[in-house]
Structures are given as C-alpha cells and as structure tokens.
Amino acid sequence: MAKKGLYENRELSWLRFNERVLEEAEDVRNPLCERLSFISIFQTNLDEFFMVRVGSLHDQMLLENNPKENKTNMTAEAQLEAIRSRVEELTRRKDAAYVDLMKHVAKHGIKLINFAKLDDKGSAYLKKYFEEEILPLLSPNVVTKKQPFPFIKNNEIYCVAVLRTKGNKQHIGLIPCANSLFHRLIEIPGSKGTYMLSEELILHFLPSVFQGYEIVSKSLIRVTRNADIDADKVYDEELNYRDHMAEVIKQRRRLTPVRMEYTRDLDVKVLKLMAAYLSIDKDMLFKTETPLELSFMFDIQDVLRHDESLFFGKRVPQRSAELLESKPLLPQILEGDKLLSYPYESIRPFLNMLNEAANDPNVVSIKMTLYRLAKHSKVVEALVEAAENGKQVDVLVELKARFDEENNIEWSRMLEKAGCHVIYGLDGLKVHSKLCLITMKNGEDIKYITQIGTGNYNEKTARLYTDLCLMTANDKIGAEAARVFHLLSLGEVIKRTESLLVAPKCLQNKVLDKIEREIQISKDGGDAYIGIKINSLTDKKIIDKLIEASEAGVKIEMVVRGICCLHPGIPGKTDNIRIVSIVGRFLEHSRIYIFGKGEREEIFIGSADFMTRNTVRRVEVAAPIYDPAIRERIRHIFRLQMEDNVKARELHSDGNYTYVPHKEPSLDSQEAQYEEAYQAVGTLETKEEPANAAAPAKSAEMAASVKPSDTAAPAKQTDES
C-alpha cells in the first residue's frame, strides 16, 4: 500500500516540470528572445506529452484489469482527469505569458495584427495576396453524407467552419492551413515589422473559399494524436527490422486523437460533433488564446538577431585543459583518464579520438552504440572512414529512439553500405547506453580505450545539453565493455559485472546494494551520504530504498531536472532528503551517482535515469570514476548544482517547487561552469571553434529534446534522450 504523502504521480510531476519551463518564459531576468524560445519549448513539450504519455493512458483504459499507477494508485481515468485540469491551468498561464511577451516584442518593432487593425491599403494587399498566393493552394472539405470527415494530420493547423446552406442545413467545412509553398509569417508592405499569420489570413477569407454558404462560426483547430506505439508488439517477421520500423512510423501518423485545441468560441453542439468525428473525449478539447503552434517565435528571433541584448551572451565550448590538441589523443588517454564536460568544453577531442582510431594502424576494431545523432553526423563519418580503412566496425543503432527512427534508419543504411556491421537492438529492450570501445593491438599486447558518456553522440546537443564524457584505458572497464558488446551482438545482455553498472541486469540491483551499504553505515553511527544527479526519478524500488535510507539518517542530496515521484522533507520519512531542479539556458542532462564519503566513496557517471524504463527495460551503462582529479571535478560540479541560487528550484514536501532563496554571491551553476572553462584555458572572451568543428547552434534551438527529440533553450526539455 502506498505511503500517504511520500509519492507524486509521474504525469503530474512531468506537468510541474513543464511549468518550470514556462517560468523561464515568464522570467524577466532572461533576455526577451530567449523567453520566446522557452514558451515555444513549453508548447512542444506539451505536444509530446500528449502524444506519448496521454496516449499511453488512453491505451491503458482499454485494458480489462484497469491497472493502477504503482505510487499513488491512480487509475488511468483518474490521471487523465487530473491532467486535463492541470493543462487548463497551464494553458491560461501560457496565454497570459504570450500576451506579455508580444507586448515586449512590439516595443522592438515587431507586431502580429488582425484585420481590425489594418488600414485600407494593408487590407487590399492581403486580399490580393490571399487570392493569388494562397487560395489556389488550398484543399477545402465540406462534410456531407457523401463526403466523410477527412483525416486530420497530427499537430497541423486547420480552419474549421460551421456552414449554413440556403436551405438552412448546416455542415462542417475544413481547410488544412499547413503548406510549405507560402510563408507562415506574412509581412505587410509599408508597415515594416508588421505581420499576419497565414492561418489567420485563411480564416478571415473563408467566405471566399466556401462560396454559397453562410459562415455561422469559425475557428482554428489543431489535433494531437497518440504516438505511443509498441514497435515490438506489432513486429511483422515477414519484414526485416529496419523495414518494420519504417512501417511503424507510418502507423503512428494515423493513431487515435487524444487532444484538440481551438482558438475561437464554438457552439457546444459543434464541439460535441467535432469530438464525435475525431473519436476524442470532449474533456480533451482545450480553448487557447495563443496561436496553435509557436515555432514562428524563432522567425521573430531571426528578425531581432541584430540586437545582442535580446539574447543570452555568446558562449562557445572551450578546448579541454586536460588535453593537448597539438598531440595525438589516443596516447594521452593511454597515459591517464580524461573527462570532457559539455557544453562548457568542446566535443572536438572525442571526435578527434574517433578519427585517429579510424586511421591508426594499431586499431583493429571500433564498437559503438548509437541512440540519437546530429543531422550531419561527424561520428558516422569517422565510423565510415574506419570501415573503409579495413577496421572491424560494429555499431548498434537503436531504431526505436522515439521520433528519431527515420534519422537512424538512414544512418544505418549508410553504415552498412560502408561495410560496418550494424545491429538493430534487442527484442523488448532499447539500447540507450552511450558506449564506445576502441581495441588496439601492438604485437601480442591488446589495449582497450573505452568511452562512457551521459549524453548522445550528437555534436549539436553537445553545445546545448550538460553532459559528461569519460575516456579511459582502464583494463577492467575495457574488458567489461568488450563483454557487453559481445553479448549484444548475440542478442543478449550481460548478467554479471565487477566495474560497470549495466542495465537491465546489473544496475538497479547494484544501486540498491550501494544504498543499503549507506543505511548500514548510518545505523552503525557512521557518516553516510548519497548524491544523485539525474533527469527523472520514477523507479519505485529505488525510491523506497531512498526513503528507507532517509529514515536511517543517511544524508541524501539530489538534482532531478524533470519528473520526481518522491516528496522530500516529510518528518520521520524523507526529512534527510533535499531535492533541487535546475531549468536554465542549457538542458541539464548528465547523470552522476555518488555513494559514501572519504575512502569508501564511489562515483559513477552514466546514461541511466532512475526510471523503471531505464533500470530494467533498457541497456544502460554507468562507469566508475577512478582518477582522483576527475573525482574531485565531478564532486565540484555536483556541489555547484546543489548551491545554485539563481536557476535552482527546491522541491517541497507538498510537491511544489520554489526558487532557492537568493543570497549574495549569486551562483548560476551553468554560468559558473562556463567561466571555469574559459579560465582553465586562459580565455576571457568567446572564441570561435575552427571551421571544421561542429557549427554553433542558435540558443533558440537549445532543448530538442524535443526533437521533439530530447533536440533544443534546448528545442526540447524532455526526458527521452
């Protein structure tokens, strides 16, 4: 039975996280154009939440046994009702934030207007523009007995109108508004900086489209469809797995609608009719005052990019002070472990390491797991070069990386064509680890260089997400990594490890054992400690063990960016646990586990959050940190985060978050780490990387993501990465 007050529902915790993203849009301390990014990210995050999490809850409602969530015992129906209520609250807040932001944007010469604010000249121009540039490209539909309700594409904007005939019959008219052949932001000639959205223009001229009908009412709508499809359950063995995943992507586009948004008041009967046509719960219809899709915010940013004060100050990833760029990387790693900290340090040394391995005559093989990659991936280029140079290149490409499936399918084809041995993952398990193994042979001597990371091999997100990258020549780590790859190639998972933590068989149980050790230390009167930095905490076994540790007096500090299903600060239960969340300029993405203090302290970095999907349903890898200097560096990173008093919010026993009280000196942990990166190499101002390095990304593209891929503020701030 759930312990009252100790747990938070996963979905409601996620909505609290997205509320923190919205707070960044509201925060006047952030530059205006960065606030535009965050409101767009909030919307993108919410779209993905409905596609994946709400879609999953709808599927659960179809099950006969009516399963309950294992922490708060809420049924799927109860969760959907709570989600609906919270989303309505957040939508009102988003609407207010949008109005405020656009007022500030107008002060910088950019405005969105409607026809009521246009003069005759502007109206005449838009009428002509509509008739010549847009009307010929529209595909209107009128729903009648002979013309069924059309398929509504996922997350695309449509005009909907209630049409009345001369015979007093009413029909529904629909027009898709998305079209790559005309611009979404239409500038009004003679009114520099004045724009109208194309869907608003189409909505205004509906009488020109539906001639012969009276327009009774009209609105813009947007439908979100369930995207939570289990690729393994629908596997067709007549197809190869790559072709199967291509079919899964096609199926996803036609899954059941789970939400409809609309912008104008519509009659209750019309809303019921739309809900019936779409087979959607009427409680999942949401009215909003803002445009239905906010990606045009990035176009506004481009117009304002000349004003640097409207953006975060420029930051460029620096070279690592631990590595000499004038010398080969592989010998330096053989001499001692190296750590890269993104985005403060450049990913370039890791890419150089791969390129060296591709051309080093002593390198016999490169093995790697790939989950999400940049659009123009230098990692793939290095692997292709290695294969063409005769190296054995084994690559596990996870085709089930949600919303990146098409991208990964194309990369897998390119790798196979170059001669790489490509594996497509395991039945029922995603391979989410960030693991690379380079095997070298000089005479009879075999040496391993192993890289273990917390983030994807993606040059773009390495500039936007905070991640750690360990490169080591430790023999024990290399040998275990070799076993992991060997078993993966056989379709199996490793069941026993000594050094690495490897899910699904050797991570959750080992974490529980390490927490238990701290419990016994505390009970024996020792100074017990646990420090955890992750994206999300939902694994109930680990949560319950942390509660037990707190009850035993173990001091527990946690940085949990996103979902957190544990309430700290409950007297006698979790009052030894402190949890903060940092949502800021960069997406906090690194995972750090610290157990104990002094000589018995263990520090790990890895790819796994403490979510059941990571700990028992994925292949994840975490590595121990042995080098004393690197251990101290990771302790320092963790301590900065726990002491952040600018972007950190503290989680309270009631589930609410508040900003950590600000006191001097101010400490923004992300800014502090960038300052340290500059100082470590004697740089006091930004310096561009060489032209062959990863191209700098706009700050507006910082959280996806969302992608939606874990892609952008990052284009997304989700937890799928």
Q: Which of 204, 432, 567, 589 is catalytic?
A: 432
- Measured CA to CA in angstroms, residue 47 lies from 40, 258, 297, 494, 657 at distances of 11, 10, 16, 36, 23
Backbone angles phi, psi at 62, to 5 degrees: -80, -10
Backbone angles phi, psi at 701, to 5 degrees: -100, 15
CA distance 277 to 274: 5
Residue with tokens 């445009």: 291
Cβ proximity of 8 and 562 under 8 Å: no
- CB-based contacts of 697: which residues, under 8 Å, 6+ apart? 460, 463, 464
Residue type, 624: P
CA distance 494 to 632: 30
CA distance 29 to 310: 11
Cβ proximity of 222 and 91 under 8 Å: no
Cβ proximity of 392 and 365 under 8 Å: yes
Paired tokens of 226: 């369930």
**Residue from 187, 174, 173 nearest 133 by CA:** 187
Report the relative pairing of strands 257-262 and 285-287 from DSSP bridges.
Answer: parallel
Backbone angles phi, psi at 545, to 5 degrees: -70, -35
One-character DSSP codes across 8-35: --HHHHHHHHHHHHHHHHH-TTS-HHHH
Backbone angles phi, psi at 249, to 5 degrees: -60, -40
Residue type, 389: N
Backbone angles phi, psi at 75, to 5 degrees: -75, 165
CA distance 572 to 13: 23
657 - beta bridge partners?
A: 651
CA distance 607 to 432: 7
How many other CB atoms are there within 10 angstroms of residue 84's CB atom? 16
Whether omega before 504 lies within 30 degrees of 0, making that bond cis, reads yes
Cβ proximity of 455 and 462 under 8 Å: yes
**Residue from 647, 28, 697 nearest 315 by CA:** 697
- CB-based contacts of 672: which residues, under 8 Å, 6+ apart? 640
**Catalytic residue check, 432:** yes
Element (DSSP H or E) covering residue 368: strand 363-370
171 - beta bridge partners?
A: 163
Beta-strand ranges (E) seen in 40-176 are 111-112, 141-143, 157-164, 170-176
- CB-based contacts of 205: which residues, under 8 Å, 6+ apart? 127, 130, 135
- Looking from the CA of 485 toward its CB, the CA atoms found within 13 Å total 28
220 - beta bridge partners?
A: 159
CA distance 455 to 525: 38
Known catalytic residues? 432
